[in-house]
Structure 1
Amino acid sequence: MKNKYIKSTIAIVAMMQIFVSCKKDFLELTPKGTTLEDNFYKNEKEVMQGVIAVYDVMQWGTTGGYTMKMPLLSAASDDCWAGGSNAADQPAWVAYDNFNMSSFVGPQGGLWNKNYSGINRANLILSKIDKSTTLSASFKTRATAEAKFLRAYFYFDLVRWFGNVPLIVTTLPTAELYTQKQSAPAQIYAQIEKDLRDAIAGLPPLVAAAEKGRTSQGAAKAQLAKVLLYQNDNTKLAEAITLFEDVNKTGNAYGYKLMTNYADIFDPANKFNSESILEIPHSNNAAWGDWGWINGGEGNVATQFIGMDTYNGDTYSSGWGFCPVTLDLVNVLKTDPRFAATIIDGAALKAAGATYNARYQNTDYFIRKYAPLKVYRSTLGVAEQNWPINEIEIRLADTYLMQAEALVKNGSNPTRAKELLDAVRGRVGLGSVPATLDNIYNERRLELATEGHRFFDLVRTGRAVTVLGPLGYKANKSEYLPIPQSEIDVTKGVIKQNPGY
């Protein structure tokens, strides 16, 4: 996070930790150090620091273990295997890979903690903004919109991963900490929609170069449209289409357009490029070196995770050998122009003289899009913790394909649906195909491979049992993670376990 607003995140987080506990249970995430808290947030600079502390949680990838969203969800899908040194290296990843999670084993603890940490921070800063009498109207409007966008972002992850979760939109009195019951997904989605609608009204259409990393009106509209589509409610499709069209149309107010060269999207030199709608910044500014609290840094540990183990050769730096690409994905992409920008062919590297260790579930194919590149290996802090490779959560080709899907499902404007699908394919030199749901779903897999979309795409479109069933996926169970047992225990059963666990 290089810009003037975000570069001081580490100091801010250290301050936030004085009164925001970051322990294993979200119910422990309650304001601490009342005197300090009451004396802070007295001006716009201090309030902005609080907003940055909410953004900071988006970067976290090591809460309660390794929980980096893109590789973790790729391992849960048919794009990648778990990998690592052996099946005991990261049991949570292997359990998710073969859908053998339990209330004690799986990535759920870290994901629950991360997202409720973000929600707690958002609730706290919203309460401070609301009570402040010193903020200008314009600052208050934008800061409130950002905090609501971020709260919606964290709840969207929670509802997709867990289903029924506690809905908390205020800072909680101590007496209520352990009595928060779960709300149904419909209630969670209603709050997400409300927060995003509120955010849209208060966010700017464009973000200045010095503020990259802050969210925009276009990102909020894209996120709301995605949320509407994911609910599989046909009555919401028309609104989703309108929002997508506002983001996708030529000459849109946000400056979005497809990158000409597909590979350039993922070049770390092209951060916040014209195709990027929602992007999580990473840098080596913190020069972090604390393995006890990796989340305190700003680097992307996912990059280290997926690199080839003990690699010696050109272009790439050594990694840890997780998330080898499945042969299924290799085969569907092998003749596609996007293959080289998506997948590293390890066998070809070996033929050229490179070496690396073949690890658990090795296929000799590896993720390319956010791979560890030698030129970006940090010379500051511990290199493995400081990869300056951003995460693009939403990009324009994604919203093109989601709009095409919504149009086909809604039975409206097939010409526009075909234009959007053809634009994604045409960018890489592929010809036109009919705008059917099957073709759109297939294009999403090819275009967005290893970017963390595939698993939720399979679940929300009802194809998970067919595609992932042979890998262990079970209907009415595997679409959600188990609730962390620690949350059930600390609430004395107020929080209930998901079915099947």
Structure 2
Amino acid sequence: MKINRNKYILIATAIVLTMVSCSEDFLNVDKSGSVSVDDYYKTPEDAYAALVSAYDPIRKNSGGFENYITMLNAGSDDHYAGGGSATDGAGIQAFSKYTLDANNIPGSFWSVPYQGVFNANILLVKLPDIPLDEATKTRYIAELKGLRAYYYFDLVRMFGNVPLILTPITTSEVYTVTQAAPSEVYAQIEKDLTEAIPNLPITITSKESGRLSKGAATALLGKVYLYEKKNAEAAAQLALVNGPTPGATSPYGYKLLSKFSDLWVVSNKFNSESILEISHTSEGNSDWGFWGSGRDEGNTVNVMVGPRGYNRMTGAPDLPSGWSFNPVTVDLYNFIKTDPRFNATVFDVLPYEAEAQAQDPPTHAYIAGYQDTGYFLNKFLPRQADVTTGTGAQPLNYKQDTYAIRLADTYLLEAEALGGTGARAQALLDAVRTRVGLPSVPVSQTAIMNERRLELAGEGHRWYDLVRTGKAASVLASRGFIAGKNEIFPIPFGELKNTKLVQNPNY
């Protein structure tokens, strides 16, 4: 959301109900030096600040050490956890090796999306009494329902069996909440999105970049239907987003960029291919004291995926050093090395390391981290030009946005929903390949999934693709994936303690 968050963030977090864990007393707000819930939600300014707070948890896609992208990459066949050692981030290491349990799963994967749910719930209750014009109020309601659907989609995909909470609850009620069937959660996601879509704008102004649009909510609904295996409904929604002619500008204004590499240019925010974008800024002065709290606004994936101790050699890109998470597997390297998207996706440091070793005296181009392959995720590698000089911690203030949904993704999702057959599916697949100069190949579900792996590598989609298509158990067997267990995460122990929540099967 391209707005001045700093103006609102402290007051918003002080008065908006959040769920850090089920054991937190999230209704008791200290009124000394702050604003209580009863005294808040009175003015249009209050409503806007609360709307901002409902958007803030969406940054978990790429913000904070426990972000979705690096975590989900680590559990796929395309990346390892990496980092400095086998103990560098217990959760990401355990997920990569399928030893994740209730004690080592980061609790934020549960609490942060619920924070978004709770922030949306309370504003939905309070909005009728706030003096706003009806058009603004209607749009806010649509955005809040769309956001709630987004957060529940993350929760149900990650955990399967989650509480479905649609109104603010009291402290005592926290301990009596029970889980809903996944089908109930999906039904509510559908309901929220179908109610939101008619009241969301088609066009988002530059000052509002990052807010939900009609196209973003429609794309999300199509994706939800596909996960439910409602393929006809998924194809219909995704066709609205993609437009009648794949490759041409859609009615919502979406169009594939002509150059794949332009997707990763840091300044190319909210481009024509972007459907739902997670915004980051270098102006938030994020620091270690509140990193990962929701107040930080930088992109943490950038520093996480960079090579450690980087020493620039002749002809090498000018990179700041990183933490060496998510090294690219040899399997993905071999799969993508002849593809035109390789250079934009993978940074191969090994030739530069050979150059460094040939010097007199020998030196290193980088320091090999844990599970090092020499291949790094170039889509998110920052350049020295991206390094900030603000007052915050430099590694936490990169400003590259990330895509939660982009057009090539929805093209391939629609082709899949169509069963991987027919002229429309072929045209959608061809459009993605034509953009990078590849010839047509006969459309099939296998061809579509291969294209998704090449096109979306490192963006956090691969693990979900393997799980929802039933391929995870075979593809990830060598990692320790167990069918009937690892398709969802364990519920964090802190959420189970003294509550009626039941742990997921086999954990």
TM range (shorter): over 0.9
Equivalent residue, structure 1, for 2:379? 369
- Could you tell which deviates more after superposition, 123-132 or 426-435? 123-132
Give me the whole-angstrom Cα distance separating, in 2, the residues matched to 1:22 and 1:205. 30
SS across alignment from 1:425: helix
Equivalent residue, structure 1, for 2:361? none
Q: Which amino acid aligns with 2:329?
A: T
Equivalent residue, structure 2, for 1:53? 53
SS across alignment from 2:83: coil
Equivalent residue, structure 2, for 1:286? 284
- Per-residue deviation, residues 216-253 of structure 1 (Å, max 9, x unmatched): 00000000000000112xxx222211111111114423
The answer to whether structure 1 residue 440 and structure 2 residue 448 are counterparts is yes
Q: How does 1:28-107 map to 2 (within 5 A)?
A: 28=24, 30-33=26-29, 36-60=36-60, 66-107=65-106
Query: What is the deviation of 1:30?
Result: 2.9
Conserved 8 A contact 1:306-1:366: yes
| Identical pairs, percent | 44
Query: What is the deviation of 1:21?
Result: 6.2
Equivalent residue, structure 1, for 2:126? 128
Give me the whole-angstrom Cα distance separating, in 2, the residues matched to 1:401 and 1:111. 27
- Could you tell which deviates more after superposition, 330-339 or 288-297? 288-297
The answer to whether structure 1 residue 359 and structure 2 residue 377 are counterparts is no
Pairing partner for 1:138 from 125, 135, 139: 135
Query: What is the deviation of 1:67?
Result: 1.6
Conserved 8 A contact 1:319-1:372: no
Give me the whole-angstrom Cα distance separating, in 1, the residues matched to 2:442 and 2:449. 12
- Per-residue deviation, residues 75-103 of structure 1 (Å, max 9, x unmatched): 11011000111101112111000111111
The answer to whether structure 1 residue 497 and structure 2 residue 485 are counterparts is no
- Per-residue deviation, residues 349-387 of structure 1 (Å, max 9, x unmatched): 334557211010000000011112211111111111111
- Per-residue deviation, residues 172-216 of structure 1 (Å, max 9, x unmatched): 123312111000110010011111111101100010011111110
Q: Which amino acid aligns with 1:169?
A: L
SS across alignment from 1:309: coil
Q: Which amino acid aligns with 1:355?
A: A
Give me the whole-angstrom Cα distance separating, in 2, the residues matched to 1:394 and 1:29. 34
Q: Which amino acid aligns with 2:457?
A: A
SS across alignment from 1:392: strand
Equivalent residue, structure 2, for 1:246? 240
SS across alignment from 1:183: coil
Equivalent residue, structure 2, for 1:467? 475
Give me the whole-angstrom Cα distance separating, in 1, the residues matched to 2:377 and 2:25. 35
Report the TM-score, using the length of structure 2 for normalisation. Answer: 0.92
Give me the whole-angstrom Cα distance separating, in 1, the residues matched to 2:438 and 2:263. 18
SS across alignment from 1:393: strand
- Call closer, same or farther: CA 1:440–1:360 in 2, change over 3 Å: same
Give me the whole-angstrom Cα distance separating, in 2, the residues matched to 1:31 and 1:334. 53
Equivalent residue, structure 2, for 1:321? 324
SS across alignment from 1:408: coil
Give me the whole-angstrom Cα distance separating, in 2, the residues matched to 1:61 and 1:239. 26
SS across alignment from 2:379: coil
- CA RMSD in angstroms comes to 1.8
Q: Which amino acid aligns with 1:60?
A: K
Conserved 8 A contact 2:309-2:366: yes
Structure 1: where are the runs of 5+ without partners? none
Pairing partner for 1:407 from 415, 418, 421: 418
Equivalent residue, structure 1, for 2:114? 116
Q: Which amino acid aligns with 2:333?
A: V
Which structure has more helix as a fraction of its residues?
Answer: 1
- Could you tell which deviates more after superposition, 21-30 or 478-487? 21-30
Query: What is the deviation of 1:496?
Result: 0.3
The answer to whether structure 1 residue 349 and structure 2 residue 360 are counterparts is no
Give me the whole-angstrom Cα distance separating, in 1, the residues matched to 2:26 and 2:16. 6
Equivalent residue, structure 1, for 2:206? 209
Conserved 8 A contact 1:310-1:318: yes
Equivalent residue, structure 1, for 2:461? 453
- Call closer, same or farther: CA 1:352–1:378 in 2, change over 3 Å: farther
Give me the whole-angstrom Cα distance separating, in 1, the residues matched to 2:39 and 2:227. 42
SS across alignment from 2:372: coil
Query: What is the deviation of 1:145?
Result: 0.7
- Per-residue deviation, residues 113-135 of structure 1 (Å, max 9, x unmatched): 11111111111111111333x11
Conserved 8 A contact 2:20-2:115: no
- Call closer, same or farther: CA 1:29–1:191 in 2, change over 3 Å: farther
Q: How does 1:375-394 map to 2 (within 5 A)?
A: 375-380=385-390, 381-394=392-405
Q: How does 1:181-220 map to 2 (within 5 A)?
A: 181-220=178-217
Give me the whole-angstrom Cα distance separating, in 1, the residues matched to 2:469 and 2:298. 33
The answer to whether structure 1 residue 12 and structure 2 residue 8 are counterparts is yes
Conserved 8 A contact 1:321-1:359: yes
Give me the whole-angstrom Cα distance separating, in 2, the residues matched to 1:21 and 1:135. 22
Give me the whole-angstrom Cα distance separating, in 2, the residues matched to 1:137 and 1:256. 29
Give me the whole-angstrom Cα distance separating, in 2, the residues matched to 1:62 and 1:172. 29
Give me the whole-angstrom Cα distance separating, in 2, the residues matched to 1:260 and 1:58. 28
Conserved 8 A contact 1:62-1:110: no
Conserved 8 A contact 2:18-2:114: no
Conserved 8 A contact 2:47-2:123: yes
Q: Which amino acid aligns with 1:241?
A: A
Give me the whole-angstrom Cα distance separating, in 1, the residues matched to 2:19 and 2:58. 17
Equivalent residue, structure 1, for 2:436? 428
- Could you tell which deviates more after superposition, 340-349 or 325-334? 340-349
SS across alignment from 2:142: helix
- Per-residue deviation, residues 301-355 of structure 1 (Å, max 9, x unmatched): 1111111112121421111111100000000001000000001011133345572
- Call closer, same or farther: CA 1:27–1:225 in 2, change over 3 Å: farther
Give me the whole-angstrom Cα distance separating, in 1, the residues matched to 2:441 and 2:327. 30
Give me the whole-angstrom Cα distance separating, in 1, the residues matched to 2:431 and 2:395. 37
Conserved 8 A contact 2:16-2:53: no
Give me the whole-angstrom Cα distance separating, in 2, the residues matched to 1:91 and 1:338. 32
Structure 2: where are the runs of 5+ without partners? 357-363
Give me the whole-angstrom Cα distance separating, in 1, the residues matched to 2:337 and 2:253. 33
The answer to whether structure 1 residue 273 and structure 2 residue 271 are counterparts is yes
Report the TM-score, using the length of structure 1 for normalisation. Answer: 0.93
- Could you tell which deviates more after superposition, 40-49 or 456-465? 40-49
Query: What is the deviation of 1:11?
Result: 4.1
SS across alignment from 2:166: coil
Equivalent residue, structure 2, for 1:303? 302
Q: Which amino acid aligns with 1:247?
A: V
Which structure 1 residue ranges, 4+ long, deviate > 6 Å from structure 2?
none
